[in-house]
Structure 1
Amino acid sequence: MVEPSTRLIAFRWKEGSAASSDVSEGATRGTTTFVVRDGIAHTIFEHEATGARLDYVSNSGICETTPGVAQHSGYLNVGGKENLFFWFFEARHNATAAPLAAWFNGGPGCSSMVGLFQENGPCNFANNNATVPTLNPYSFNEYANMLYIDQPIATGFSYGDDNVNSTLSSAPYIWRLLQAFYSQFPQYKNRDFGIFTESYGGHYGPQFASYFEQQNTAIAAGKLKGLNIPLVALGINNGWYDAILQEKATVHFSYNNTYKPLITASQHTSFLKTYNDQCLPLLEQCNALEGNNTACANAQDICYNDIDFSVISVADFDAYDVRAPFNNPVPPKNYMAYLQQDDVVKKIGAQGMYQECNAGIYELFQETGDNSRSYLPTLSTVVQSGIQTLIWAGDADWICNWFGGLASAEALTYSGSTAFKKKAVSNYTVNGATGGTFKTEGNLSWLRVFGAGHEVPYYQPALALQAFKQTMQKKTISST
């Protein structure tokens, strides 16, 4: 394992004291200083190439308590008041050689602390009545070094001007964060890198991957100063990729899912007519008129009000797990109170009051109609580039259901498209126990997870860890 921040160990701390040192030349050049605030030691790294500034604490003792496993948490300032919160956890095993992966929750405007505490992070609230977390034996950092990022600005613990209003405008901030991260922690810069995300990550994941690849190409051509991001894997569970396919899938899933019908046969017929007559033409217009915010926002409003909201209004179910009632969402939210404790906030180098989702960000994205824009063309280019790609979904989720996930995977364009679409699914097993069905072709894998809602790793942690590891190993998923 990497030694926990040797720079910090080398100093004796006094309130208000500071020291500095230089880091390597070129794209990694910058200055590191050390300060203490409210009794908490902070490291500050000024990255020369991008102008970004990292301000973080190390080894807070919060969440990851495995002896010898380092962690860092704090902010990337990308200029002015714009600050992205990140939380990094070293791999529990063989950290000096383990790959690096980043996790992004969706929304848009929902914190990646959801994934950290409820899904695949080093700790969780296994006891629903617990006030402090316990170690998660199925954490993704069992295999990889993990980086959780609250984005865009004003999500979770991130704060500053709300100037990001689309998936396209989100990607450059994440690239800059990674550039500064690699520069301050150069031991990770040549590791295999993966993006894992969910929900609105059906937009984020393809765009971030595509943007990183474009930047890598520019760096290799000498047109841009920066560090290569060695992207090898992309995983998206219960993603929102393409509204044309997925609004229709919402209607069919509401009636034909394997758990319970949420609408009647006559309602199914009515909603399908609404989709064809009112929703579909507007979505087609949006995607035909690239960059027309008004057309895309109008499509989003009509489709949501006339289909999504209308289904929810006539049935009693949780949109993220159809097996649960509307007023009893799963998983429970007790992690939020923990992250709102002053001592916890200080120890992890955070500021302000934690909020799980920011409605203001959602409104900004809604104004540009970002939700209505298809990211299947972008995702197709990612698959075509050879990046190992996993499209998976819990089959009890309604809001980004597996009907739409499979339809989206089968609509991708790459060398194996025809064979992938024709291929039948097989049982996906974990140590001989069936947990879902899957199929693969080339570097693309599809997985339906049984008995799981929107946040797959919460429901099926062993399966989620297995699928994560296989994808990070640049393999199509396979049964064990």
Structure 2
Amino acid sequence: MSFWKWGFVILVLMSVSDADSVSDQKKDLVTNLPGQNFNVDFAQYAGYVTVNEENGRVLFYWLTEATQDPASKPLVLWLNGGPGCSSVAFGMGEEVGPFHVNADGKSVYLNPYSWNTVANLLFHDSPVGVGYSYSNTSSDIKSNGDKRTAEDSLQFLLNWLEKFPQYKGRDFYITGESYAGHYAPQLSQAIVRYNKANPGSPINLKGYMVGNALTDDYSDHVGLFQFMWSAGMISDQTYKKLNALCDKESFIHPSRECDEITDIANQEMGNIDPYSIFTPPCSASGVAKRLLRRWHKVGHIGQSYDPCTEQHSTIYFNLPEVQAALHVYQSNTSRKWETCSGVVGAYWQDSPISVLDVYQELIAAGLRIWVFSGDTDAVIPVTSTRYSIDALNLTTISPWHAWYEDGQVGGWTQKYEGLNFVTFRGAGHEVPLHKPKQALTLIKSFMAGTSMPTSQQVIETKTSASQVAGF
């Protein structure tokens, strides 16, 4: 066959492939959500991507394209943790997504600080058994773990990009919170290694960012004890015993003595919401249930911060009309949709005690890495994150200083060689829920690779605005 004929065949095949992609996208187009009594200026898609044909493992996704010029904007993936919690429930329903669920549980409102105002925003429920994601092999739900979650998420991205080829090679960032402190670096590691072995990979990973993240078990717990004592929630005596009886070995092999003193600490804390220690809980029963958890399990099985928003999401995402609008697999609707799957968390197979080694590998690979922390969270507090970062022994480039939003201190930040750390003043476990405007500033700064705004920048901005106004 002559060269021009081969070229014609290739062009035809490419056209068929592109047509198939367009067709797949159209099937997943979400035209309107139930209770969405307003128009939006962006396209959105929801549906499924198969990650394992043999077992029938399928992950649910929801893409909300950027509000302006999506073709020029990067792609940002948001992950929630647990393990076992839905990114649709928390990331979309009450944090960084454009649609937040109203108190009636039957309608949504537009979030003006949505991250899709600056990026194409992708959510996916992972692993199988979480949210709308499922497997045709029932044993899969009880055999999830860190390793398979990273593998399936990598496969998800590769297959999703075949469905949405316009995002191939686009700047790509991974973000998330809590147990995504494992998910985000582990998926980033899987991508970096895949790209090294497969030149021309469609995944153009630039970096990852995690908040109030489970990172290193020992640092997380030592920091937790210190935070609770410094916040006045536990006694001096209990604090001393926690440090003495809950040593590094007790987190690998839990001891009766450590369990007993953590029970005492729980009693001393009282009936508060540890995910946000200065805000009232939605219900006493929900908080009491969470406080009874052993601390050596903290961050591994747990719901995200909930004043009441979680209850609204539970109602909304169980509505048949909502599931129909999102193209949820109808044969799978007999299983009630949950914000967090207790089964997935209870049967979790593998979870390393630290991901600091992954950080070191990815810092060396040149990824942009940011870590942020709400400073009123008593689950994975700011002290824990600081201990984990200190353990990396990084060189400081820019020392600790305040950053500003609207002329007020938004938090504090420090820049290291290979990592940026940002705290949020007055935010709990879910920073974008407590501080949505400041969180939007965070994602803008992260993607731009710039520092958080300083007081001088605020003054300069105000001066410039005054000059323009003629004052």
TM-score range, shorter chain: 0.7 to 0.9
Alignment map for 1:152-231 (pairs within 5 Å): 152-160=127-135, 161-162=140-141, 164-220=143-199, 227-231=201-205
Q: Give the Cα–Cα distance (whole angstroms) in 2 for the partners of residues 91 and 448 of structure 1.
A: 26
Map of 1:244 onto structure 2: 218
Q: SS at 2:42's partner residue?
A: coil
Contact 2:276 2:429 (C-alpha < 8 Å) held by counterparts:
yes
Map of 2:277 onto structure 1: 322
In the alignment, structure 2 segments of 5+ residues that lack a partner are 1-11, 285-305, 459-471
Alignment map for 1:201-350 (pairs within 5 Å): 201-220=180-199, 227-257=201-231, 261-276=232-247, 280-283=248-251, 296=252, 298-299=253-254, 305-306=259-260, 310-315=264-269, 316-325=271-280, 327=283, 329-330=306-307, 332-333=309-310, 334-350=312-328
Map of 2:370 onto structure 1: 390
1:403 aligns with 2:383: yes
Deviation of 1:152 after TM superposition, in Å, equals 0.5
In the alignment, structure 1 segments of 5+ residues that lack a partner are 1-21, 35-42, 46-54, 221-225, 284-295
Map of 2:299 onto structure 1: none
Amino acid at match of 2:180: G
Map of 1:470 onto structure 2: 445
- Larger mean CA deviation between 63-72 and 169-178 belongs to 63-72
Amino acid at match of 1:218: A
Q: Give the Cα–Cα distance (whole angstroms) in 2 for the partners of residues 90 and 337 of structure 1.
A: 25
Distance 1:272 1:119, change over 3 A: same
Aligned residues: 407
Distance 1:243 1:306, change over 3 A: farther
Distance 1:437 1:320, change over 3 A: same
Contact 2:396 2:415 (C-alpha < 8 Å) held by counterparts:
no
Q: SS at 1:320's partner residue?
A: coil
Give a deviation string over 1:62-92, Cα, whole Å, max 9, x none: 2886544111101112223311111001000
Amino acid at match of 2:265: V
Map of 1:14 onto structure 2: none
Map of 1:419 onto structure 2: 396
Map of 1:358 onto structure 2: 341
Contact 1:109 1:362 (C-alpha < 8 Å) held by counterparts:
yes
How large is the Cα RMSD of the aligned pairs? 2.7
Distance 1:56 1:227, change over 3 A: farther
Map of 2:48 onto structure 1: 75
1:119 aligns with 2:95: yes
Deviation of 1:474 after TM superposition, in Å, equals 3.0
Q: Larger relative CO (CA 8 A, sep 6+): 1 or 2?
A: 2
Q: Give the Cα–Cα distance (whole angstroms) in 2 for the partners of residues 324 and 251 of structure 1.
A: 20
TM-score with structure 1 setting the length: 0.78
Contact 1:140 1:465 (C-alpha < 8 Å) held by counterparts:
yes
Map of 2:465 onto structure 1: none
More helix by share: 2
TM-score with structure 2 setting the length: 0.80
1:105 aligns with 2:80: yes
Distance 1:130 1:350, change over 3 A: closer
Percent of aligned pairs with the same amino acid:
25
Amino acid at match of 1:385: A
Q: SS at 2:192's partner residue?
A: helix
Distance 1:33 1:435, change over 3 A: closer
